[in-house]
Amino acid sequence: MTGFTDPEPWQRPSSDPNDEQFGDIVRSTTVEDADEYDAVLLGEPYDGAVVGRTGAREGPAAIRDALAATKTHHFEGGPIDCVGDMGNVDADWTDSVSDVQRAVESAVAPLHDADTLPVFLGGDNSVTVPNVAPLLSRDSVGVVSLDAHLDCRKIRDGPTSGTPYRQLFDRGLDSLAVLGARHFETSTRYHEYLREQGGEIHSAPAVGDGPEDAAATVLSKLAAVDTVYVSLDVDVLDAAAAPGVSAPTPGRLTSRELFAVLGRLAADDRVAGFEVVECAPPLDRDGRTVTAAARAIAQFLAGVDR
């Protein structure tokens, strides 16, 4: 079975002892001890399936660095604590996309059995398949995808970062809701495909008009499923806020709108996993995208009922 690399020790950048940061509270853990933590981080440094610009393989390390420097206090939720880090999935990232997906699925499946919230640090969007797939054999599952794209392309010469939800529907996914989809970023045929599967699409302008209402609406539409998985593709953010992604474009969500959506989604007690994908540090400017990705994790954890 695929294993894990040992996580690097977390460091606190601040010299002020009153500045509690994630670097103070995140501890190394294993699958066997994961249930001792409210949430557990797991990195997936892979971008071999990207349709567009690469760089997401460097996402897990950069997100951890930015999160380590983030303070733990949330004004309404109080301080976040009890977060574990399992390191990265240790796979042969030079294999075919299908082989990588199988290896990652084998690694993450036991984590879904633990009494904790898995938080996956991508990596490109192809890792969504192995992150969600272990849940499909147990319960009815709905995914909330915060993404500018629908990612349900037809598979031609093998899976890519644009095919994860086509793959998951083929494996029994019950429902998909896309929040923040961008006009002129998909084809009519893929829009129709998602509608045929009973999927929900809420465009970036619609979400921006009422982020928390959009999240609440989506959750109500997923009322029939037992389990909810939340996927954040950082390209759902406007290019000004997140230039370090495979396909940045203007007209998307602001960071504040994204954080409002995440807080509402995290409060649903059916949530069984969260991921951040497509953060590509080599393409970033002034650390904007990496910082947004790290803060998104903090915002999500603040919203979880601990």
Return the domain boundaries, the chain. Answer: 3-303
Q: Does domain 3-303 have CATH number 3.40.800.10?
A: yes
DSSP 86: E
The pLDDT tens digits for 276-296 are 999 999 999 999 999 999 999
Mean pLDDT, rounded, of the chain: 96
Do residues 207 and 257 touch, judged by C-beta distance below 8 A?
yes
Please identify which residue in the block is written with the tokens 């998951």. 168
Specify whether the CB–CB gap between 28 and 72 falls below 8 A: no
Residue in 54, 64, 52 with CA at minimum distance from that of residue 26: 64
220 contact partners, CB below 8 Å, separation of at least 6: none
**Can you tell me the distance from the alpha carbon of 117 to that of 63, in angstroms, rounded to the nearest whole number?**
18
Residue for token pair 């919230």: 117
What stretch of H or E contains 98? helix 97-113
| Alpha-carbon span 193 to 195, nearest angstrom | 5
> According to the model, what pLDDT value does residue 252 have?
87
**75 alpha carbon, distance to own chain's centre:** 24
- 60, 117, 52, 53: which is closest to 91 by C-alpha? 60
Whole-angstrom distance, CA of residue 61 vs CA of residue 68: 11
Q: What is the pLDDT of residues 126-151, one digit of tens each?
A: 999 999 999 999 889 999 999 999 99
Residue 143 and residue 174: Cα distance in Å, rounded? 8
SS3 121: strand
Q: What one-letter code names the amino acid at 301?
A: L
What is the distance between the alpha carbons of residues 128 and 173, in angstroms, rounded to a whole number?
12
State residue 1's pLDDT score: 52
214-232, pLDDT tens digit by residue?
999 999 999 999 999 999 9
pLDDT confidence of residue 12:
86
d(Cα 179, Cα 210) in Å, to the nearest integer? 12
Mean pLDDT, residues 178-183: 96
> What's the CA dihedral at 7, 8, 13, 17 to 10 degrees?
70
pLDDT number for residue 152: 97
Q: For 83-117, what is each residue's pLDDT tens digit?
A: 999 999 999 999 999 999 999 999 999 999 999 99
CB 242 within 8 A of CB 248: yes
Return the beta strands (E) in 12-93 as ranges.
26-28, 39-44, 73-74, 78-79, 83-90
Question: Cβ distance 62 to 290 under 8 Å?
Answer: yes
- In one letter, which amino acid is 50? V
pLDDT beyond 70 at 240: yes
Q: Are 241 and 192 in contact (CB under 8 A)?
A: no
Q: What angle do CA 43, 44, 45 make, to 5 degrees?
A: 105
Give CA–CA dist 193/79, Å, rounded.
43
Contact indicator for 255, 290 with CB cutoff of 8 Å: no
